[in-house]
Amino acid sequence: MNRKLIDKERVIKLILLVFALSSLLFLFTIFAFILTEGLPLFYEAGVKAIVFGMRWAPTKAAFGIFPMIISSFMVTFGALVVGAPLALACATYLSEYAGKRTKLFLKPSLELLAGIPSVVYGFLGVVYIVPIIREHLGGAGFSILSTSLVLAIMILPTITSISFDSLMSVPPAYREGSLAMGATKWQTIRRVVLPAARSGILASFILGMGRAIGETMAVIMVAGNALKIPTSLLDPLRTLTSNIALELAYATGDHRRALFSTGVVLLVIIMSLNLVANFWVKARVAK
């Protein structure tokens, strides 16, 4: 009987190992496919001509994506400026002030935002945010500002969830010691709890950046898709993800390879952000 149980455990372990390795295989396959399709153009046109080029006209051998890189970072930064403080405030309230019943209602509600399709966010942005900006601030409404506001809402679940876990992992003794020394609850949160959870909070911001910079459909709907570096919050723009989604359906030859090269740049950016986030988390654990 014991022998059969041991054999059964080995089979289950083998099956789970296969499933775990399959996820790595899928990741490696995607990574290899994008590199195989995108890297040849870097060798032919040059990294500088692609990454720092100002003109995007693939049919005329102009593969510059620098305006799209700048635009991607601008809307990501705008989303963080709006969304990060709001998400941190939500996480702080949930971890420090909310009761058990409130947590049971609010936390799942916030996490449900992550399950809403991005096209719904884009639709709401077109129906509500774009007209408000157009009527009260000017311009067409399709702009950095509208895109940043939509992305700020979309990154709320990511930042809130990770920041909440970081705040909850701060030992209760920290809070008790601060309160015992006469500090108020807010002073304890601001001077003790938040600094203790700093690494996890920063990691949540970085992961939120990765979520924002990789968003496609909502951005296409509210950004305006202009191939230039924006000089105002009301200027339209085109991001890296939007460029790929808009043109891949009809691209051929060097045009198609240029879009995959755009994907390579986007992949490097997102992987770098994830590596930085993992570094922050490990640094926090080490402390």
* pLDDT tens-digit series, residues 119-170: 999 999 999 999 999 998 888 889 999 999 999 999 999 899 889 988 988 8
CA atoms in the 13 A half-sphere facing the CB of 75: 43
| Residue 165 located in a structural domain | yes
| Residue 137 located in a structural domain | yes
Distance CA 164, CA 95 (A): 6
Q: Within a 10 A sphere around the Cβ of 28, how many other Cβ atoms?
A: 10
Tokens of 112: 């449900």
Q: Which domain holds residue 282?
A: 56-286
- pLDDT for 13 equals 84
For the chain, 287 residues long, give each residue's pLDDT as a single digit of tens. 567 777 778 888 888 888 888 888 888 888 888 888 888 888 888 888 888 989 898 888 888 999 999 999 999 999 999 999 999 999 999 988 888 888 888 888 887 888 888 899 999 999 999 999 999 888 888 999 999 999 999 999 989 988 998 898 888 888 888 888 888 888 898 898 998 888 888 888 888 888 888 888 899 999 988 888 888 889 999 999 999 999 888 888 889 999 999 999 998 888 888 787 777 666 655 55
Domain count across the chain: 1
Domain at 138, CATH number: 1.10.3720.10
| Residue 218 located in a structural domain | yes
pLDDT tens digit sequence for 63-82: 899 999 999 999 999 999 99
